[in-house]
Structures are given as structure tokens and as C-alpha cells.
């Protein structure tokens, strides 16, 4: 059956499979020469999916600059079966099915399925890195295989097909993960690792799976890695990378920006080194003061955040390494994605947390379903307060708007899920620092937002909400009639959820009015200063490579 017939026959997944197999096979013959034709084929495939915005953006990004074009060509030279399978899963289940199932959820409850569910199956680890608390955990504190299977089964019913696995060190449970990835071959698994437990045998098993992508947590160069993690660790990571390269597998890395490694993280030589080792993409995080007795001076300054965001944007335009930073690139995903809006985290005890860095919960997956956790007043409150400010460049309820996390945790009796979590909202040394930090970030970043992100501001004003679906603080403030109509629909399904949505939206609105100077009013920013309008570098929406 051909692509068009498959679509007509109603089997979009089959159409994706057929097109992907052909495209990958074709492009691998001559990636440079066939690039344009492949872009057209993928764009055509995307037109059959209803909401094509994420795909259009991805295509736009691929075509827009030399770095992303070369990135795609490099991707196509990786293991054919793995590349084809990952594309099928990303286009098919992780996007198309996610959209279809989310539309049903959204119509009933006002939220979509999480795009990705993060799971920490264990907190055990084979290393003992400085500042890490994983050594305190025992095997019996792990999530069981049955628990993990249950989470994924429920997630798929809701519409989630992308599972991000962290820890602890996930590879201490590789056998269990291998079984789960085999059983749930319709899901994509992205596994963050310290990179020291990948042997030749494990690399062979990863190559077999085709739905298992490794992300190496790399916090610097050899000196930094060995200093933080122990002597010899860096060489061991390089060895693991070599095992994956020998099998031509794709993989990524994750980085943490601190005030201390800023120079390294803005150096071309650093990224080039990893790019040359075969890294395809990098997820970047800011240092978060969520460990015990955190060194607050490690938080990057407001200026560092701005210049770092500009640096990675330029880098990915020119080089074949896709770098994404969850703060500087937050406008691409409409701000904070916590509370199930696009993701949530389930820790090794089963606690359902709104964000990997916010260690608070009201629900546990051993007693509640995923849907119940998503409908909970705690998660509803977080979603209704999004966007936490009208400036999507300071999206975070932990470090940019710390009063929001404190408030929702207190009002909903969210319990700390880790010993040190309480400090984040109660320890005066930390709360005072975060308040001052957030103010400083606002001072610097609001100017950038006003001057350079007019397109995003205009889009939010036109949409009257921060993101295309569901209700949020902006929809309550800017389109109350539409908000109330949505609410009537939700009420028919679940009146207590509808009531919570209203209460939380009202609360968010009141907070917004009360602390207006922190939140930055969108209406006032709708037209850019005249003298700066011509050369404004509009936010490159093509960087949104996923359907997040």
C-alpha cells in the first residue's frame, strides 16, 4: 500500500512507516543531494496530521540554516534501522497519536497528555559524585518492574509515548529497562546516564532495541568530570561513546550551566569536541538549588543567562549540534511545561512530581492513577498559574517566580518528596536568595523580552492564552467569556475539576494583579519601541524541533 492509499485507508501510522522507510533509504544513498526532496516528502507527510505547526517549525528549522541542514544529513548517516524507527515513533506515536488522544482529553478536562513522562526507576548509582545524594538509597526503594510497566501502560492510554528515564543511574537496572523497552516497542525511551556502565554487551542490546536513545550527562571537560565524579570517569564515558559509535547509534548529552562553567559552556571548542565525538543533541539545564545545602553562588547570573541563550542560538544555526536550553528556549514551548502541561516526573518511590526539580507531591502512583494525579488540585493550580509571568524568558516557578511554587505547595499541602526539598520553600537563606535572584533576572530579562520577542508577545495577545490548548492564567484574564465556555464543558465531565480550575485561575489572576511589577503586563508590551523595531531579531520559532 502506498502513502496516499494508506492515508485514505485511515492508517496514518502505516503511511508514516512506509514514507519513513523510503525516505531514510533514499536519503542515505546521497544525503547532500537528496536533502530538498526529503524535506518536501516529510512536509507532505505532515500535512495529513491536522495540526501541522510543530512539523512546519521543524521543517523550517531544517531548511533555515547550514547547521541544522548538516545536522539532518549527519542524522541520516546513522544506523538506518534506528533512525527510521525513531522518526516513525516521533512522527507517529509521540506526535500524531499524542495529538489525537490529547484533543480528547483537552475537550473533557482542559489539559493534554504529558508529551513526555520522566521516570526515575532507582536512585541508586555506581558513582559517588560531589554534591549528589544518591548514595543513601537502597535497592528496596526502587520502583518495581510492575510499577514501571503500569505507568507506561497508563501513559499510553492517555497519549504519552515518550519516556525519559533518569535516576540515580538507570543502567544499574538495565535488564529491567531492556525488558520494558522491548515490551513497549511503540514508545521511545530517552535514557540519561553517567555513561560508565555501558559495556560492549550492553551496547549490542541498545543497538537491538531501536527505541532506546542514550543521553550522557556531561558536566564539563576531563578535569571537571574527574573532579566532580572521580578519577577515570571521563575516560570511561569516552569508551561508552566509542561503543555506540562503533554501532553507528545516535545519542545526545545533557549539560548544566553554572556561574563557574560559563566560559566553558560558551566556548566553541567545548561543543566542537562533543560534536566531533558524534553527539547529535544537547539538553541544557541551569544549576538549580535543589540539593542539600546548595552553593547558591553557582546559579548563573541574569546576564549570563541572556548571553548564553544568544550563544547557543547562534551555535545551532551554524553547527550540526542541536542545543536546547529549557530557560532561554522557553518561548518555543510557551513557558513552563511542568504540572503535566508537557511533562511530569515520577520518582523512585512513585511520587508524582510536577517537575524534575520540584520535589513535592500530593499523589503517589501506587495509590492513584496518572489521570487522578493530572486532575489533582496541586497540578491544576500549577497549570492555571502558567505562564508564571507574561515574560516567557523567565518561565520557572522555582527560580524565576519562587513565590508561585511556595504558594501552590502550601495551599495544596504538597509534601516534600526528598529530605532537602523543604529548604527550597522554607529555609530563609534560600528563599531570600531566590526572591532577590528573581528580581534581578526580571530587571535584565524583561528588557530583552520587550525588545527582541515581539513576535511571541503578539502571538500570545492574539491567542489570549499562553499556548494553543487548555485554559491558563492568560485565558482567564484576557478572554473570560471563552474561559467560562470551556469551563462549562469540563463541568459536565468532572465538576470538582472545573471548580478547581476556576478557583486557581481566580487566584492566579489576583496574584497577578497584586504583584503586577513582578509579572510584567503583556498589554503594555504589545508594541515595540519605535527605534528598535526594524532590526529586531524575532525569536526563531524553527528551533521547536518537537511537538512539545
Give the cell for residue 39.
Answer: 524535506
Nearest distance, CB of residue 363 and ligand SF4, angstroms? 17
Phi (first) and psi of residue 512, to 5 degrees: -60, -45
- Of the pair 424, 501, the CB lying nearest ligand SF4 is at 424
CB 42 within 8 A of CB 16: no
Q: How many angstroms separate the CA atoms of 333 and 545, rounded?
A: 10
E strands, 74-142, are 116-119
Pick one of 67, 289, 395, 470: the residue that binds ligand SF4 (CB under 6 A): 395
Closest CA to 431 of 390, 399, 454: 399
Nearest distance, CB of residue 357 and ligand SF4, angstroms? 5
Nearest distance, CB of residue 398 and ligand SF4, angstroms? 5
The interaxial angle of helices 174-183 and 200-209, nearest 10 deg, is 20
Pick one of 18, 396, 442, 474: the residue that binds ligand SF4 (CB under 6 A): 396
Pick one of 250, 355, 381, 520: the residue that binds ligand SF4 (CB under 6 A): 355
Helix then strand count (H, E) for the chain reads 25, 11
- 121-159 in b/e form (b: 16+ CB < 10 A) is bbbbbebebeebebeebeeeebbebebbbbbbebbbebb
The interaxial angle of helices 377-385 and 402-411, nearest 10 deg, is 150
- Of the pair 119, 487, the CB lying nearest ligand SF4 is at 119
Q: How many angstroms separate the CA atoms of 118 and 43, rounded?
A: 30
- Of the pair 211, 284, the CB lying nearest ligand SF4 is at 284
Nearest distance, CB of residue 64 and ligand SF4, angstroms? 26
- By CB under 6 A, which span of 63-71, 317-325, 395-403, 457-465 interacts with ligand SF4? 395-403
| 159 belongs to the binding site for ligand SF4 (CB under 6 A) | no
| 336 belongs to the binding site for ligand SF4 (CB under 6 A) | yes
Number of residues that bind ligand SF4 (CB under 6 A): 11
| 283 belongs to the binding site for ligand SF4 (CB under 6 A) | no
Per-residue binder mask for ligand SF4 (CB under 6 A), 508-527, x = binder = --------------------
Q: How many angstroms separate the CA atoms of 112 and 356, rounded?
A: 19
Pick one of 161, 163, 283, 357: the residue that binds ligand SF4 (CB under 6 A): 357
- Of the pair 114, 395, the CB lying nearest ligand SF4 is at 395
- Of the pair 358, 448, the CB lying nearest ligand SF4 is at 358
Q: How many angstroms separate the CA atoms of 538 and 305, rounded?
A: 18
- By CB under 6 A, which span of 18-26, 87-95, 155-163, 353-361 interacts with ligand SF4? 353-361
Q: Which residues pair with 216 in a beta bridge?
A: 193, 253
| 337 belongs to the binding site for ligand SF4 (CB under 6 A) | yes
Q: For residue 479, what are the contacts with CB-CB under 8 A and spacing of at least 6?
A: 464, 465
Binders in 22-61 for ligand SF4, by CB under 6 A: none
Q: What is the largest CA-CA distance in the chain?
A: 65
CB 133 within 8 A of CB 291: yes
Q: What is the sign, positive or negative, of the torsion defined by CA atoms of 52, 58, 63, 69?
A: negative
CB 163 within 8 A of CB 117: yes
Per-residue binder mask for ligand SF4 (CB under 6 A), 292-331, x = binder = ----------------------------------x-----
Nearest distance, CB of residue 371 and ligand SF4, angstroms? 20
| 115 belongs to the binding site for ligand SF4 (CB under 6 A) | no
- Of the pair 173, 363, the CB lying nearest ligand SF4 is at 363
| 398 belongs to the binding site for ligand SF4 (CB under 6 A) | yes
| 424 belongs to the binding site for ligand SF4 (CB under 6 A) | no
Q: Which residues bind ligand SF4 (CB under 6 A)?
A: 326, 336-338, 355, 357-358, 395-398
Amino acid at each position: 500500500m502506498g502513502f496516499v492509499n494508506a492515508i485514505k485507508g485511515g492508517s496514518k501510522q502505516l503511511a508514516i512507516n512506509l514514507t519513513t522507510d523510503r525516505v531514510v533509504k533514499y536519503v542515505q544513498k546521497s544525503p547532500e543531494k537528496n536533502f530538498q526532496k526529503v524535506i518536501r516528502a516529510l512536509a507532505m507527510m505532515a500535512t495529513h496530521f491536522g495540526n501541522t505547526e510543530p512539523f512546519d517549525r521543524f521543517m523550517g528549522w531544517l531548511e533555515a540554516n547550514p547547521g541544522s541542514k548538516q545536522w539532518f544529513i549527519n542524522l541520516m548517516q546513522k544506523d538506518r534501522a534506528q533512525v527510521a524507527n525513531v522518526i516513525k515513533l516521533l512522527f507517529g506515536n509521540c506526535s500524531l497519536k499524542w495529538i489525537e488522544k490529547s484533543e480528547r482529553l483537552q475537550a473533557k478536562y482542559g489539559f493534554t497528555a504529558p508529551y513526555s513522562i520522566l521516570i526515575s526507576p532507582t536512585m541508586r548509582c555506581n558513582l559517588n559524585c560531589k554534591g549528589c545524594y544518591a548514595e543513601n538509597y537502597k535497592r528496596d526503594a526502587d520502583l518495581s518492574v510492575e510499577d514501571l510497566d503500569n505507568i507506561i501502560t497508563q501513559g499510553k492510554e492517555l497519549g504519552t509515548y515518550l519516556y525519559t528515564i533518569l535516576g540515580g543511574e538507570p543502567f544499574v537496572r538495565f535488564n529491567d529497562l531492556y525488558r520494558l523497552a522491548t515490551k513497549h516497542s511503540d514508545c521511545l525511551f530517552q535514557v540519561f546516564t553517567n555513561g560508565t556502565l555501558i559495556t560492549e554487551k550492553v551496547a549490542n542490546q541498545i543497538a537491538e532495541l531501536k527505541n532506546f536513545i542514550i543521553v550522557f550527562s556531561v558536566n564539563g571537560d576531563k578535569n571537571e568530570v574527574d573532579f566532580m565524579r572521580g578519577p577515570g570517569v571521563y575516560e570511561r564515558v569516552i569508551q561508552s561513546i566509542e561503543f555506540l559509535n562503533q554501532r553507528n547509534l545516535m545519542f545526545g548529552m545533557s549539560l548544566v550551566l553554572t556561574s563557574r562553567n560559563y566560559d566553558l559552556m560558551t566556548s566553541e571548542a567545548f561543543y566542537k569536541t562533543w560534536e566531533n565525538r558524534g553527539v547529535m543533541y544537547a539538553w541544557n539545564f541551569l544549576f538549580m538549588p535543589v540539593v542539600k545545602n546548595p552553593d547558591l553562588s553557582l546559579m548563573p547570573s541574569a546576564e549570563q543567562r541572556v548571553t548564553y541563550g544568544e550563544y547557543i542560538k547562534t551555535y545551532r544555526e551554524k553547527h550540526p549540534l542541536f542545543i536546547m536550553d529549557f530557560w532561554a528556549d522557553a518561548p518555543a514551548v510557551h513557558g513552563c511545561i511542568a504540572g503535566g502541561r508537557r511533562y511530569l516526573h515520577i520518582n523512585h518511590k512513585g511520587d508524582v512530581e510536577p517537575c524534575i526539580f520540584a520535589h513535592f507531591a500530593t499523589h503517589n502512583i501506587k495509590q492513584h492513577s496518572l489521570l487522578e494525579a493530572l486532575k489533582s488540585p496541586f497540578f491544576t493550580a500549577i497549570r492555571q498559574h502558567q505562564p508564571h509571568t507574561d515574560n516567557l524568558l523567565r518561565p520557572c516557578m522555582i527560580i524565576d517566580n519562587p513565590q508561585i511554587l511556595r504558594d501552590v505547595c502550601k495551599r495544596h499541602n504538597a509534601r516534600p518528596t526528598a529530605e532537602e526539598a523543604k529548604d527550597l520553600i522554607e529555609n530563609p537563606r534560600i528563599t531570600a536568595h531566590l526572591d532577590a535572584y528573581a528580581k534581578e533576572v526580571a530587571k535584565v530579562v524583561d528588557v530583552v523580552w520587550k525588545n527582541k520577542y515581539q513576535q511571541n508577545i503578539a502571538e500570545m495577545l492574539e491567542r489570549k492564552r499562553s499556548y494553543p490548548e487548555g485554559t491558563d492564567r492568560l485565558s482567564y484574564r484576557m478572554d473570560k467569556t471563552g474561559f467560562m465556555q470551556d469551563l462549562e464543558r469540563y463541568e459536565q465531565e468532572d465538576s470538582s475539576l472545573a471548580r478547581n480550575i476556576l478557583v486557581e485561575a481566580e487566584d492566579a489572576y489576583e496574584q497577578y494583579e497584586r504583584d503586577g511589577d513582578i509579572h510584567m503586563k503583556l498589554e503594555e508590551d504589545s508594541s515595540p519601541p519605535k527605534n528598535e523595531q526594524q532590526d529586531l531579531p524575532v525569536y526563531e520559532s524553527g528551533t521547536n524541533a518537537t511537538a512539545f
